[in-house]
Amino acid sequence: MSNTPKTSDLELRTTGYGHPDAAKLAAEVQQEYVRRYGDIDQTSMHEDHFDPPGGLFVVGYLDGEPVACGGWRAKEADADGLRAGDAELKRMYVVERARGRGLARALLRHLESTARGAGRTRLVLETGTEQPEAIALYASEGYLPITKFGFYKHSEQSVCMGKPLDG
């Protein structure tokens, strides 16, 4: 019998982006970006971007330890192709020791459900070419390429994807 925690052991808590566990994991994901891209993500992020009903930030726990995080924030129509009703996925991250267990997929599905419940009609995201596992996860969950948006819209390494949240 394996002692590896199952996806069902993941406890998702809405913490807000300013919670100490969220801040710890967000700092770790920034270091992941440094390793992969040479710098932190320069996208503007503020705690209040994730305050309901215009956003949500979640931390995932295994045995009381924070191991995953992610959130969404409401977006409105703009010249880059974003639409009224969009929500942007931000700071999806699973600590290295907990990867490969389906935690990111469970977290993503939870964020989709909460965004849909808040009346958002599409989830959009920006990731990068140096995160092939993230691109594969999103593609396997029905995300398709969309017009680039945001801080990195002119970067060759930027990959933007979106998924309608109907049904």
Q: What confidence tens digit (pLDDT) does each residue in 89-124 have?
A: 999 999 999 999 999 999 999 999 999 999 999 999
> pLDDT tens for residues 44-58?
899 999 999 999 999
Give the number of domains in the chain.
Answer: 1
The model's pTM: 0.92
pLDDT the model gives residue 4: 52
State the chain's maximal CA–CA distance in angstroms. Answer: 54
Span 135-150, average pLDDT: 97
Q: How far apart are CA 81 and CA 71, in angstroms?
A: 21
Q: Is residue 103 part of a domain?
A: yes
Q: Is residue 32 part of a domain?
A: yes
Q: Is residue 54 part of a domain?
A: yes
Residue 12 belongs to a domain with what CATH number?
A: 3.40.630.30
Domain enclosing residue 43, as ranges: 7-164
Q: pLDDT over 70 for what percent of the chain? A: 95
Helix axes 132-140, 103-117, angle to 10 degrees: 50
Confidence of residue 5 (pLDDT cuts 50, 70, 90): low
Span 69-84, average pLDDT: 94
pLDDT the model gives residue 166: 85
- Contact assessment for residue 120 and residue 74, using Cβ atoms and an 8 Å cutoff: yes
Q: Is residue 17 part of a domain?
A: yes
Enumerate the β-bridge partners of residue 93.
69
pLDDT the model gives residue 1: 41
Q: How far apart are CA 95 and CA 73, in angstroms?
A: 22
Q: Is residue 2 part of a domain?
A: no
Q: Is residue 56 part of a domain?
A: yes
> pLDDT tens for residues 24-35?
999 999 999 999
Q: Is the per-residue pLDDT at 2 higher than 60?
A: no
